[in-house]
Amino acid sequence: MPIRQHAEVRRRARALASLTGALCLFAAPLAAADETLPAYLAVAVGKGAPASKADVAAANVMALDDGMQQIYGLSLEKYKANIRAETPVIIARFDDFGGSMTLYPPGKDPIHAEPVPQIYTLVKSVSHSTMAMYQLVAPYLRDPGDTSWRAPMAVYLARIKSAQATLGDLDLPDNVRKRLDGMLARDIAFMEKCLETGTFTFADLDAFARSVEPDIVKNVALAASTQVDHWESVLTGWQKMLGPEWDKTYAITNTLYVTRQNNILFTVLAQFMGKEAIDDRLILVGTTAFTTTEDTLFDVLARIIADRPLGDVFFRNFYLMDAELIGSAAQQAVEVDAAKQGKKALLPTLAPFDTHEWPWPADPASGPGPADMQEIPGD
């Protein structure tokens, strides 16, 4: 046999041996060699027991859901692109300045609305300054002798004095400027008394709150009318610009728990989109912070829109995925457990998946007490 053929035979034999060895490794795990490892490998190797077969199997199964989430994320980008190409979308975000809104017309650059007029933020800021008095003293009402309240109060006093000194430079109606000046003056008087006497009482705090309450109520009314008028003007223009496409527009806004009931941006959007759009094309979502990003809200909206046909494919209901998928089954489980304990389960009435009710309590009979600031009885 020629030398070159001998070499080729040897090469093939070595390759076959390597392949056979590799297959053996996959076919049957070998016992670990009984060897002493270098001390420096201790932190890498550890002393824990190896994973059990059940642990490995569970990890393999749970990895399927991880993989699904990755696939979902990739698909979401396609869904977002489809939505942007075909459907108008309004992203309305809560912020400290009366909110922000952006319109995404199909296939065009986004349109960012002008901000709410500055008077909204000014009256809100001064109103909040009065409530800061509570935050400065409430933790120390039991023991004002704990003087750790003094430094923060002195710092805030300087800020309020600076704001009051420059109030005249703001473009404000005379009656509003006078009201804000009076509120800041009462802030200053309260803090100066606390700092001079080195103490305060709940009676002092209560008297201060009663003195500023009427002006806060007036500021609330001014801020609300400014905010609502602005956004209604913006939406009137967008509705006219979109024409027939307005009726297929989606809108989403965010809220914290404390701003959910009577949510302003959602309420204004509802005036233009109609009751049938609520929980269909008009969505209110909870967030864990006062502010969020447009991208975050767009992702949430795209997931909601994309999940609806999925629900129709798998469960024959277009709106099923708007609700907790195992929610009704969980309610049945709660009822069973309650019965075992001899109790009656506390459960709400199940509403249809396709509902257009307001996303907060709207039944006057659902609880006691006022539903409006104006209904709160005075002294």
pLDDT (0 to 100) of residue 39: 86
DSSP 143-187: -TT-GGGHHHHHHHHHHHHHHHHTGGGS---HHHHHHHHHHHHHH
56-115 pLDDT tens trace: 999 999 999 999 999 999 999 999 999 999 999 999 999 999 999 999 999 999 999 999
**How much helix, strand and coil, in percent to the nearest 5, is found in the chain?**
65, 5, 30
Residue identified by tokens 């600031």 is 373
Output the CA torsion sign for 106, 109, 114, 116: positive
- Specify whether the CB–CB gap between 353 and 323 falls below 8 A: yes
pLDDT (0 to 100) of residue 22: 45
From the list 223, 222, 287, the residue with the least C-alpha distance to 252 is 287
Residue 81: exposure state from Cβ atoms within 10 A (0-12, 13-18, ≥19): exposed
pLDDT averaged per 10 residues, the chain (length 379):
44 46 46 72 83 94 94 93 96 94 96 98 97 97 94 98 97 97 98 97 97 96 97 98 97 92 95 97 92 94 95 92 89 93 92 89 84 75
pLDDT (0 to 100) of residue 238: 98
pLDDT (0 to 100) of residue 377: 75
From the list 224, 307, 235, 225, the residue with the least C-alpha distance to 271 is 235
pLDDT (0 to 100) of residue 37: 84
- Specify whether the CB–CB gap between 251 and 297 falls below 8 A: no
pLDDT (0 to 100) of residue 46: 81
pLDDT (0 to 100) of residue 20: 43
pLDDT (0 to 100) of residue 375: 75
Cα 365 from Cα 138, distance rounded (Å): 34
pLDDT (0 to 100) of residue 41: 86
What residues form DSSP beta bridges with 250?
Answer: 89
Cα 35 from Cα 190, distance rounded (Å): 77
The ranges assigned to domains in the chain are: 81-115+252-365, 118-223
